[in-house]
Structure 1
Amino acid sequence: MTQSINHSRRSLFSRRKSNAIRPPWVREDIEFTDMCTRCSACITACETKIIIKGDAGFPEVSFTNNECTFCTLCAKSCPENIFDLTQPAWHYKAYVQETCLTNHGIWCQSCKDACEPRAINFVFSIGQAPSPHIDVDLCNGCGACVAPCPSQAIHIKLPTE
């Protein structure tokens, strides 16, 4: 009985893994929610307004309406030691889901048109709509391809997710 009570108490305080995309340049050696004071400085500074107040008031990135320009304003505005501009912005990449219109025979290239690093190309096949291919080496995870997608088929995530 005591063992199950202790296990229950531990589970109350265990960290819940968040799938939230944190702002770029967040230090990889910290637990973001331990260091962030939720002051909203990065949210206010974000020039494209993709940093929003997420779960429990912590900043997270939403590509619903715009993209990250990697302007560094979020990192420079933070009063805490959360950001490191000497490391890569992040490791997120764009991935196309099964809901892509091309999988249903509809010709669409809105994601390619929005992709500035030209990481999205289309593969042509006889008798089918061209299908998107994302070069993960070129993709910087900016999210420019997300909002224009009419079927919400593009998701930004870590390569291991």
Structure 2
Amino acid sequence: MPAAASISRRQLLKGRTATPPFAPRPPGVTEVSVGHCTGCAACVEACPQDILSLSAGRVRLLPELGECLFCGACAEACPEPVFDATRVMAHRVIIDDNCLARADITCMACRDACPESAIIMRPRIGGPFLPKLDDALCIGCGACIALCPGQAITYSPLGGPP
């Protein structure tokens, strides 16, 4: 049985199926176009940031390793129609409860790392400032994900849960 379709014994007996974790894709790769990926790894080798890999024979973005610069090297190297011209990310960024500021530890790493100034720090009484993400400004590059010391920044598909 393929790994994506496998479930644990407990899930089987309880009637629950495992939901595969969301795998973020590089800019311009849609859920449909990733089906054209042959797993040749040309895009992985072309990425100057070394933030691409193959997962189950498909290209995958690893924003936890660094920021995507939207340089287009991956799209230029790909021999298949996997990348479209829009070069927009198909995921959004989420700051969860593991944020150090929510644990009363002063941290502004995400704000400082964001090239689009999509994260602002909201003041609060009795504690450090709290990060607030402006979804309209966030481009999903992963700069904040890679530098978050609390590993509190994750991603979900566009249209997914907030």
Shorter-chain TM-score bucket reads 0.7 to 0.9
Pairwise CA distance, 1:73: 0.7
The superposition leaves residues 14-61 of structure 1 with CA deviations (integer Å, 9 ceiling, x where unpaired) of: xx8661112211245x2523x11100001001110110122x232201
Secondary structure in structure 1 of the residue aligned to 2:53: strand
Partners of 1:40 and 1:58 in 2: how far apart?
Answer: 9
Q: CA RMSD in A?
A: 1.9
Could you tell me which residue of structure 2 aligns to residue 84 of structure 1?
84
Aligned to 2:155: 156
Q: How does 1:95-114 map to 2 (within 5 A)?
A: 95-114=94-113
User: Are the structure 2 counterparts of residues 27 and 154 from structure 1 closer, same or farther at C-alpha, using a change threshold of 3 Å?
Assistant: closer
**Stretches of structure 1 lacking an aligned partner (at least 5 in a row):** 1-10
> Alignment length, in residue pairs?
144
Amino acid at match of 2:144: C
Q: Is the 8 A contact 2:33 2:83 kept in 1?
A: no
- Counterpart of 1:58, as a letter, is R
The higher radius of gyration belongs to 1
Matched, 1:116 2:118: no
Answer yes or no: is the 8 Å Cα contact 2:110–2:119 preserved in 1. Answer: yes
For residue 145 of structure 2, give the secondary structure of its aligned residue in structure 1.
Answer: coil
Per-residue Cα deviation, 1:63-111 (whole angstroms, up to 9, x for no partner): 12211000011111110111111x2522422210000011111110000
Residues 76-85 or 136-145, more deviating? 76-85
1:7 corresponding residue in structure 2: none
Query: Any residues of structure 2 matched to 1:34-49 within 5 Å, and which?
Result: 35-49=36-50
Q: Tell me the equivalent position of 1:6.
A: none
What letter is aligned with 1:39?
Answer: C
Residue 8 of structure 1 corresponds to none
Partner Cα distance (1:138, 1:62) in 2 = 21
Alpha-carbon distance in 2 for matches of 1:73, 1:153: 29
Task: Kindly report which structure 2 residues correspond to 1:4-15, keeping only aligned pairs within 5 A, or say none.
Answer: none
Report deviation, 1:117: 0.4
Please say if 1:22 is aligned against 2:21: no
Aligned to 2:131, the other structure's residue is in SS state strand
1:128 and 1:23 map into 2 onto residues whose CA distance is 37
DSSP-derived class of the 1:32 partner: helix
Opposite residue 21 of structure 1, the aligned amino acid is: P
Identity %: 38
Once the two structures are TM-superposed, the CA of residue 159 in structure 1 deviates from its matched residue by 3.8
Name the SS for the 2:23 alignment partner.
Answer: coil
In 2, distance between residues paired with 1:158 and 1:121? 22
Q: Which amino acid aligns with 1:149?
A: C
